[in-house]
Amino acid sequence: MKKNSIFSIIILFITAIIWGFAFAFQADGGETLGTFWFNGIRFMIGALSLIPVVLLFERGKLSGKQWKNLLIKGSVCGAILFSASALQQYGISLTGSSAKAGFITGLYMVFVPFCGIFMHKRIRAEAWIGAAVAIVGLYFVSFADGAQSVEFGDLVVLIGAFFWTAHIVFIDTFAGDCPSLKFSLVQFVVCGALNLLCAPIFESGITVTWAVLTGAAVPLLYCGIFSVGVAYTCQVIGQRGTEPALASIILCTESVFAAIGGWLLRDEFLGVRGYIGCALIFVGILLSQAKIFGKKKA
C-alpha cells in the first residue's frame, strides 16, 4: 500500500487548482476564438509543451508493434477527448459560466462507477447515494437565479460529462500497456487536429489573425501549457506517492477551484441556489468515491 506523502498531496492539489482555474480561461478564450479554434490551438500547444516531459521521463524506444498499438489506442482516446472538450467548451460559451461548467463536468466522477453495469459488476451503495445527491445539486445549479427551465448550455456540458466518463473508461482499458506520457501526447495531437479540421467548417466567420491570437494569448498559454503540460505532469508525479482513492478525492476539488476562479477572474456569482447546488454536487462526487458501507468494488 502506498504511503500518502505530503509532497504528493500538495502536487495533486496544485493539479486541481490549475485545472479548476482553466475553466475561467476557457470562457475568455472561447469568446475570442470560438470552440474549435480555441480547443485546436490549445491542445496543440499542450502537445508541444509535453514533448520535453516525454523526452525527460520516457526516453526509451518502442518497437514497431508498440508504436502501432500506441497510435491506435491514443487516437481512439483522442477522438473521445475531442468530443468531450468540444462539448464542454461550447457549453461554456452558451452559459458564460465557468463555475457551473466546472461542477457539471465534475459529474463524470459520479458516472464512472456506473459503467460497471455493462460489465455485470455490483454498484456500491455509495455510488447510488452520491448520484442521488449530485442530481439534486444539478437541479439547484440549473435553476439558479430564478431560471424557469434548464439552460441548453448546461445540457451541452452535461452531455460532455458523459464523454469525459467514456474517456476515463477507455483510458483505463486501453492505456495500461502504453507509455502514459506518449499516450497522452498522441491523444492531444489527435484532439487538436480534429478541432482544427472542424474550425474552418463550423467557425468560418472567425478569422484567426496574429492580432486575434495575441489577444487570446493568456487563455491559450494557460490552457495549453499549464492545464495540459504542467498539470498532467504534476498528476503523474502526485499519483505515484498517493493512494488512488485519496488522489481521486483531491483531484475532484477541481470543481471547487473552478468556482473560485470564476469569481476571482470573471466576477461570476451563481446566487444562493447555485452555490447550494454546487455544494451538493461536490458532496455527491465525494460520496461516489468513498467506501463507507463495506469494501465491495464498483
Query: pLDDT tens digits for the chain (298 residues)?
Result: 556 788 888 988 999 999 999 999 999 999 999 999 999 999 999 999 989 888 888 888 888 888 999 999 999 999 999 999 999 999 999 988 888 888 888 888 888 778 767 666 777 788 888 889 988 888 888 776 656 567 888 899 999 999 998 888 888 777 677 888 888 899 999 999 999 999 999 998 898 999 999 999 999 999 999 988 788 778 877 877 777 667 778 888 888 899 899 999 988 887 888 888 888 888 888 888 776 655 544 4
Q: Looking at residue 3, what is its pLDDT?
A: 62
| pLDDT over 90 percentage in the chain | 37
Is the residue at 274 inside a domain? Answer: no
Its domain, for residue 108, covers: 6-115+148-268
Q: Looking at residue 297, what is its pLDDT?
A: 43
Is the residue at 62 inside a domain? Answer: yes
How many Å apart are CA 25 and CA 31, to the nearest integer? 10
- Spatial CB neighbours of 278, under 8 Å, sequence gap ≥ 6: 99, 100, 103, 137, 141, 255, 256, 259, 270
Residue among 156, 162, 191, 177 nearest 69 (CA):
177
Residue written as grid cell 479554434 = 37
H, E, C per residue of the chain: CCCCCHHHHHHHHHHHHHHHHHHHHHHHHHHHHHHHHHHHHHHHHHHHHHHHHHHHHCCCCCCHHHHHHHHHHHHHHHHHHHHHHHHHHHHHHHHCCHHHHHHHHCCHHHHHHHHHHHHCCCCCHHHHHHHHHHHHHHHHHHCHHHCCCCCHHHHHHHHHHHHHHHHHHHHHHHHHHCCHHHHHHHHHHHHHHHHHHHHHHHCCCCCCCHHHHHHCHHHHHHHHHHHHHHHHHHHHHHHHCCCHHHHHHHHCCHHHHHHHHHHHHHCCCCHHHHHHHHHHHHHHHHHHHCCCCCCCCC
Q: Looking at residue 240, what is its pLDDT?
A: 73
Residue 34 in grid coordinates: 470560438
Is the residue at 133 inside a domain? Answer: no
Looking at the 3D structure of the chain, how many domains does it have?
Answer: 1
Residue 262 in grid coordinates: 470564476
Q: Vertex 186, ends 185 and 192: CA angle to 5°?
A: 90
Is the residue at 238 inside a domain? Answer: yes
Residue among 105, 297, 17 nearest 289 (CA):
297
Is the residue at 38 inside a domain? Answer: yes
Predicted TM-score of the model (pTM): 0.85
pLDDT tens-digit profile of 47-103?
Answer: 999 898 888 888 888 888 889 999 999 999 999 999 999 999 999 999 888 888 888
Is the residue at 45 inside a domain? Answer: yes
- Main-chain dihedrals φ then ψ at residue 291, nearest 5 degrees: -130, 90
Is the residue at 132 inside a domain? Answer: no
Q: Specify the amino acid at residue 3.
A: K
Is the residue at 273 inside a domain? Answer: no
